[in-house]
Chains A and B, each alone.
Chain A
């Protein structure tokens, strides 16, 4: 019997390594996986709170109108009426909270318009699209259009 054991003793060492490796994995796993993992689903429940803690970047459409109703009025009825302020002006939550804390940089009327109006096959054909060279000879768009109310009156 003893003789037999020596012949496969080296294999037991291999098995031992696997067993130790597996045990180590279980321990490491227990240490690394957060306690609240899987409470609501396949994620760490605390991640929800973490996300809630993050500062808001956008103030939302309603916020701007509290103080800038002149601009809101100037947009009424125009093609951009439904385009959110922050789509062009960028995230301004800090500004809406306290206007003195963040003085917004004005969007560049030469480029901001192309974000949306550059032609692309993927856009619905009904969406107004212009090639800046053809349409405006690369002049800034606000030479002719008002950003807040871009429709040019006939004549």
Chain B
């Protein structure tokens, strides 16, 4: 009774009893946020690979490792939310074909095992073999295992790797689209919830995923260059920022399309959603997502496209725009997941979301889950340095 009574006093209007307490917490906000970063980072890497965009090569391997680090963490918020992580394996043993979430398990596995790991392996195989030859002790065994015991890095074998790798990338792009489109699909297919239920959802999720992934790689590239005290390749940074700008323009247009469509159609849910956006979601949707997290970074990026600015100024603008973009996309995930639960299916009532701190679904585990991919990335970078120096062989190709 305790929880309900406290929450009940926050409820406005008429709410069905099962809607008073939000079931999908901040952890469920992290799930689309993190998978979005994976898909976005991977798509950026694929651009270089498939379309041979030379400029962004310095971020190619970094993007792949970023995608892997975040992909490994992607299911954790869900498992923490459900509370029985060991049971998630049963989804693979006896999958229910009508369950969108069960099918996501296979999309995830496909993407992780067949696309990402294989692509990284093929790209790094030469480095791994060289490390296996030069390292000693435990690390040598680690690299030998990663090389699958093979010592062959003849030019012909590397050429084959390159061709297979390109094939995997081509398979990978639709897979990355599938991975994140699927997350949007899961929300978009909730018929009962008008805030989610739109066929545009997968598409909007996909483009916002690209936006956030590209922004993340942009920031990581600048951060990593700063930490290593190496010069930033401005040609690369400019190109990545340009992609960010384009992807963002498309993403914003799609979201506006959704908005205009909702306003024009104005179905029975409209008044309720409109009220919600103007009151309980005003801060996170209008201010944070649209103004601070979309229009401002778009303006900054547009400025870098229009004006001739010094390298220093551009770096500053890119970094600012990148951070704001991340904030904006996170706010978008928040507004979708939390926003979709704030109103009643009666369209007559509204509730609130109270985030705990140090509980299973509180802010603390959410923060830890956001730190974890960076820790994994640091380990991956140690093991498989993504620096251009170590990819010298591709220069000759």
Q: Is B one of A's binding partners?
A: yes
CB distance from B4 to the nearest CB of A (A): 8
A-contact bits for B39-71, CB 8 A (1 contact / 0 none) = 000000000000000000000000000000000
A-contact bits for B92-114, CB 8 A (1 contact / 0 none) = 11101000000000000000010
- Which of the residues A6, A25, A32, A114 comes within 8 Å of B152, measured between beta carbons? A6
Whether A13 sits at the interface, judged by CB under 8 Å, is: yes
* Total number of B residues with any Cβ neighbor in A under 8 Å: 30
B14 touches A8 (CB 8 A): no
Of the candidate stretches A51-59, A62-70, A73-81, A116-124, the one touching chain B is A116-124
Expressed in whole angstroms, the Cα–Cα distance for A17 and B160 within the complex equals 19
Of the candidate stretches B15-23, B287-295, B379-387, the one touching chain A is B15-23
A122 touches B16 (CB 8 A): yes
Q: For B93, B96, B157, which residue has the most chain A Cβ atoms within 10 angstroms? A: B93
Whether A10 sits at the interface, judged by CB under 8 Å, is: yes
- Which parts of B127-161 form the interface with A (CB within 8 Å)? 147-150, 152, 154, 156-157, 160-161
Closest to B150 in A: A10
Expressed in whole angstroms, the Cα–Cα distance for A14 and B93 within the complex equals 24
Whether B11 sits at the interface, judged by CB under 8 Å, is: yes
Expressed in whole angstroms, the Cα–Cα distance for A42 and B160 within the complex equals 45
Whether A7 sits at the interface, judged by CB under 8 Å, is: yes
Whether B349 sits at the interface, judged by CB under 8 Å, is: yes
Closest to A44 in B: B94
Whether A101 sits at the interface, judged by CB under 8 Å, is: no
Closest to B97 in A: A42
A29 touches B93 (CB 8 A): yes
* Residues in B whose Cβ lies below 8 Å from that of A11: 160-161, 164
* Residues in B whose Cβ lies below 8 Å from that of A17: 148
* Residues in A whose Cβ lies below 8 Å from that of B154: 6-7
* Residues in A whose Cβ lies below 8 Å from that of B174: none
CB distance from B19 to the nearest CB of A (A): 8
- Which parts of B77-123 form the interface with A (CB within 8 Å)? 92-94, 96, 113, 118, 121
B149 touches A122 (CB 8 A): no
A14 touches B148 (CB 8 A): yes
* Residues in A whose Cβ lies below 8 Å from that of B121: 14
CB distance from A103 to the nearest CB of B (A): 25
B-contact bits for A1-17, CB 8 A (1 contact / 0 none) = 00000111111011001
Known interface pairs A121-B11, A122-B17; A8-B94 also in contact (CB < 8 Å): no
Closest to A3 in B: B156
- Which of the residues A13, A32, A121 comes within 8 Å of B150, measured between beta carbons? A13
* Residues in A whose Cβ lies below 8 Å from that of B147: 10
A8 touches B157 (CB 8 A): yes
Known interface pairs A11-B164, A14-B118, A118-B5; A42-B17 also in contact (CB < 8 Å): no
Expressed in whole angstroms, the Cα–Cα distance for A7 and B93 within the complex equals 37
- Which of the residues B14, B96, B148, B152 comes within 8 Å of A42, measured between beta carbons? B96
Expressed in whole angstroms, the Cα–Cα distance for A113 and B266 within the complex equals 43
Closest to A25 in B: B92
- Which parts of B1-47 form the interface with A (CB within 8 Å)? 1, 5, 8, 11, 13-17, 20
Whether B314 sits at the interface, judged by CB under 8 Å, is: no
B156 touches A32 (CB 8 A): no
Q: For A9, A14, A17, A29, which residue has the most chain B Cβ atoms within 10 angstroms? A: A14
Closest to A28 in B: B93
CB distance from B326 to the nearest CB of A (A): 35
* Residues in B whose Cβ lies below 8 Å from that of A10: 125, 147-148, 150, 152, 157
* Residues in A whose Cβ lies below 8 Å from that of B13: 121
* Residues in B whose Cβ lies below 8 Å from that of A120: 8, 17
CB distance from A119 to the nearest CB of B (A): 9
* Residues in B whose Cβ lies below 8 Å from that of A135: none
Query: Taking beta carbons and an 8 Å cutoff, which residues of B are in contact with A?
Result: 1, 5, 8, 11, 13-17, 20, 92-94, 96, 113, 118, 121, 125, 147-150, 152, 154, 156-157, 160-161, 164, 349
* Pairs A-B, 7 closest by C-beta atoms: A10-B150, A13-B148, A7-B157, A7-B156, A122-B17, A121-B14, A29-B93
15 new A-B contacts, CB < 8 A, other than A11-B161, A121-B15, are: A7-B152, A7-B156, A10-B125, A10-B148, A10-B152, A11-B164, A14-B148, A17-B148, A33-B93, A38-B94, A42-B96, A120-B8, A121-B14, A122-B20, A122-B349
14 inter-chain pairs at a CB distance below 8 angstroms, sorted by A residue, are A6-B157, A7-B152, A7-B157, A10-B147, A14-B148, A18-B113, A29-B93, A33-B94, A37-B94, A114-B1, A118-B5, A121-B13, A121-B15, A122-B20
Query: Taking beta carbons and an 8 Å cutoff, which residues of A are in contact with B?
Result: 6-11, 13-14, 17-18, 25, 29, 32-33, 37-38, 42, 114-115, 118, 120-122
